[in-house]
Amino acid sequence: MTVHTFDARETSVNINNKFVTGFAEGSFVEWEKDEDNFNSKTDAMGDTAVAITNNNTGTITLTLSQTSPNLKELKRLAESRAKFPIWVKTPAEKVGGTEAMFVKSPSGGLSDEIEDREFEIRVFDYTDQ
């Protein structure tokens, strides 16, 4: 039997050449290509045509704690509407691209517990290796 383990400390998120820390509990990084690689249609006779999708955008979502030391800096970068590189790396995967932008600043709230801040980032040259 083979046992596989995951250690979140082996994951790094780098935005604009700076490491991000202070992630929230639970799912703290998610990523997805924005469109399928192709679209297909099958006619009544069973013949299928495939159209390759050339959309290479993807979305990375980061969930930070409201106490993250990077929160203020990331909010500033989001408001600047500037492009930046983003890379998420684990021992087995590398996701991101060299041109990305924040979709918007995160929504927020305060309570008697530590709250989360969710950043949605659109990557224009998305790669998932």
6 has pLDDT over 90: no
Sort 96 into a burial class: Cβ within 10 Å, 0-12 / 13-18 / 19+: buried
- The residues near 11 (Cβ < 8 Å, ≥ 6 apart) are 29, 88, 89, 90
Instruction: Report which DSSP code applies to 16.
Output: T
pLDDT in tens, 17-46: 999 999 999 999 999 999 999 999 999 999
Between CA 92 and CA 77 the distance in angstroms is 29
Give me the pLDDT at residue 1, please. 84
Average pLDDT across the chain, whole number: 95
| Widest pairwise Cα distance in the chain | 62
Considering the entire predicted model, what is its pTM? 0.90
Contact (Cβ atoms closer than 8 angstroms) between residue 38 and residue 7: no
Between CA 61 and CA 59 the distance in angstroms is 7
Phi, psi of 10 (to 5 degrees): -90, 5
pLDDT-derived band at 75 (thresholds 50, 70, 90) equals very high
In the chain, % helix, strand, coil (3-state, to 5) comes to 10, 45, 45
pLDDT-derived band at 64 (thresholds 50, 70, 90) equals very high
